[in-house]
Each structure stands twice: as C-alpha cells, then as structure tokens.
Amino acid sequence: MPETVLNGSVVLDQVPVSIALSPNDVTAVPTCAENIHALAKTFDKSDNGRRLELLAHARSLVRALETPRETMIKHCWAQPGVYMAITMGVDIGLFKAMLANRACSKKVSDLAPLLDVDAFLLARVMRHLAAMGCIRETGPDEYELNGFSKSLTIPIIGDGYPCLAGGGRAALDKFSEYAATTAYQEPRSAEHGPFQYAYNTSLNFFAYLQARDPLGVQFNHHMGGYRQGRPSWMDGGFFPVYERLIQGARTDTEAVLLVDVGGNIGHDLDEFQRKHPDSPGRLVLQDLPEVLGQIAALDTGIERMSYDFLTEQPVKCARAYYMHSVLHDWPDDTCTRILTNLKAAMAPGYSKLLINENVIPDTQAHWEATALDMMMLALLSSKERTAAQWTHLIEVQAQLKIVKIWEGGNGVESLIECELP
C-alpha cells in the first residue's frame, strides 16, 4: 500500500474500505461477552455499582461488534434524527398522550387528531422512535411506552431536549467551523466564543436561555434531571458533613451555615435540609433575580437572596460557601474573579469553600464527564477540570488552599474542600 511521510511519520495513503465494513474490534468480542455473562449471573438491580459495570461491558460489546460504517450512520443520521423526534414528541405532548388511559398501546391514527398533528408526519417520527428503542412497536403504526419514554413526561427528564434544541445544539454543530476561524485555539472568552458565533448573539448561554421563554425554565428542569440518581456529597461515606461542616459551626440566630452561590432554584439546599434537618444556622440561596423568580416551591426555611457572583459577596463569615457546577461554566479569568469575591467574605480559621464539580482523572475518564466537557467547550468557552487544573485555579490564581478533594468515584462529581491559606 502506498505510504506518505507526514511530519516525520509514515502514514498510509489510503485505508481500505474493508476496514469500515468489519467489526470495530472483533478480538474483544469474546471477552466482553464473557464479562457480561459472568456479571449477569449475580445481577441485582439494587446494586448500582454492579449495574454500571455490566452496562460498561455491554457498551464495549456494542462498540466492538459495530462496523465503522454502522457507527458513522448512527452518529450522522440515527442519533440526530432521534433527538429531533424526541424534541418534537415533548413539544406536542406525544408521550403524555400515550401515557393516558393506563399507558396502553396507541395507534397513530388515534394520536394524530388528538395532538393536532399530520398523521403521516407522526407515523414517520414514531417509527424512528421505535427503531431507536424509545418506544415499543406493538403493530402497524401502533406503539406503547417503555421506561424511557414514560420518563419523558417528567419535566426534569423531557425538558432537556427542547431546551438544548432551542438554545444549545447549534453551538456544537458549528464548533468546528468556529474553531477554524481561530486557528483551532482553545476558546477562553465568555463573550466571544462558539456559542455567540453559532447563534449570532452577544448574549452568553444563560442570558440567551432566560431571554427566550420557556428555555430558561426548561434548563432549570434539565439541571434537576442531571442531579438525579447520582451519589451526593451530603450522604454518608462521601464527605463527613457533621465532622467537617456542622461541628464547630456557630449556633446564634444570625449565623449562616451554608450559602449556595449560584444555586439555581434551590435543588441542593433543599436536599441538604432534608438530609440534615437538625443542622444549626441559616441556609441562603443566591442567584440572579430572574432565576429565583422561577422557583415554584421551596422550603420557607431557605432564604432567597438576589446576587451576582461577579460582585462583592454580601454574606460575610458564613461557615461554608458552596458552589455546584458553577465554575465549570466560566473560563479561568472569570472563575478567579468569582473565587476572589468569596475569599474576601470568608473568616480565617472558620469559613470553608465547597466546590462540587467534576475532577477529570488523568486516564480512564468517564463518558458523562467528557460529554459535559464538550458542552462546556461549545456553550460557554469553559471546561471540566483535572486535579492539576483545579489546583492551579484555586491555589495559584485565587490564592486559596485546597484541604482535600473528596472523591465519589469515576463519573461522579467530587467535593473540593477549600480554606483560606
């Protein structure tokens, strides 16, 4: 086969088409199958760790068996198509209509007039949903829901699709085009990045969503869905809440135990109050007024405070300032401003800063974390950070001290405990 020398390396001039028509890794198939068989023998749905292990081997088997051509068609046609179909289904109320009357099998001919949708269009969309495993085919143009499609009727699951379709995916689609205009440099500007390029806007991702109802509300729901089913630092065996946070905290009426900075509509403080109801001190939720205005229900024991974290922190000497998935939204220079504002409010020897974020391992990174990194890259010119990058940001740039990084396992957000140096 002809060869070419490129930058000192010998490369093949042409990869034969036969490679694209053969399984990606046929030698791995027996091992993957054996691992699945062994794990399945003792599978218990209540053992989430074993479930995830089995799922990883199942995905490895699919990747090994697929041909490159099949993978290409899946990426280019099937997955964009099913995202389109799910988004339309959520928008028109398809899955809620299918859930009615005990979620029995439904015919397209019955659903179409109920939803005021052309029957031919609906039939095509539902056919692809079935082919991709989102609904179950029970007859010609007849379908029923499965666990996934039932879940799409829950706002924290279903709303992510129209939200990102309306205010996010274009940035991913146009990222390569944008990167070419910058000579493929890593974007670092929150004001002039791939999102602004794709949407022809001066607004950042969050402002864009808030300005286009109902995208802002849908995004809040989406973040609620993201948090579900994941180990929490508030649970036993992760971060010692009593020993590191509650013990030694002030108990006077004005004392603030926990300030959730940029806490959205209060998911985390609500969880904290439920799991640690007897903890002393005030709980303060901070976010922009337009975000706090979207709160539908929140325990009256949680105080709401309008606040922009790029300005001076008004709550001084709290026991802990907490940020969940905030700093990953911003490039390093903006993060340094945020951390500097918090640092100025902290009391030496008393206050802590708790950062609940992904810490990307140097090898074997989990797909959820790397997927989120791609979202941050395209939407916000920001990143998921490695331990070395967190250390540089927190200790070198913001001049704070990392006490410990509390790990929840690969693919689980860590809790970075910080103090004044």
Alpha-carbon distance of 310 to 336, in angstroms, equals 10
One-letter identity of residue 61: L
Is 271 a residue of the active site? no
Of the candidates 165, 260, 280, the one whose C-alpha atom is nearest the C-alpha of residue 219 is 165
3-state helix, strand, coil in the chain (%, to 5): 50, 15, 35
Is 357 a residue of the active site? yes
Strands 320-324 and 256-261: parallel
Of the candidates 330, 369, 378, the one whose C-alpha atom is nearest the C-alpha of residue 172 is 378
Is 384 a residue of the active site? yes
Cβ(101)–Cβ(114) under 8 Å? no
C-beta neighbour count of 110 within 10 angstroms:
13
Q: Where are the alpha helices (DSSP H) in 190-331?
A: 194-199, 205-210, 215-227, 241, 267-275, 289-292
Query: 3-class DSSP state for residue 136?
Result: strand
221, 267, 384, 417: the catalytic one is 384
Alpha-carbon distance of 279 to 277, in angstroms, equals 6
222, 357, 413, 417: the catalytic one is 357
222, 267, 324, 328: the catalytic one is 328
Query: 3-class DSSP state for residue 365?
Result: coil
The pair of three-digit structure tokens given for residue 280, joined into one six-digit string = 């002393």
Residues 6+ apart with CB under 8 A from 12: 1, 2, 3, 4
Angle at the Cα of 412 (from 410 to 416), degrees rounded to 5? 105
Q: So which residues are the catalytic ones?
A: 328, 357, 384
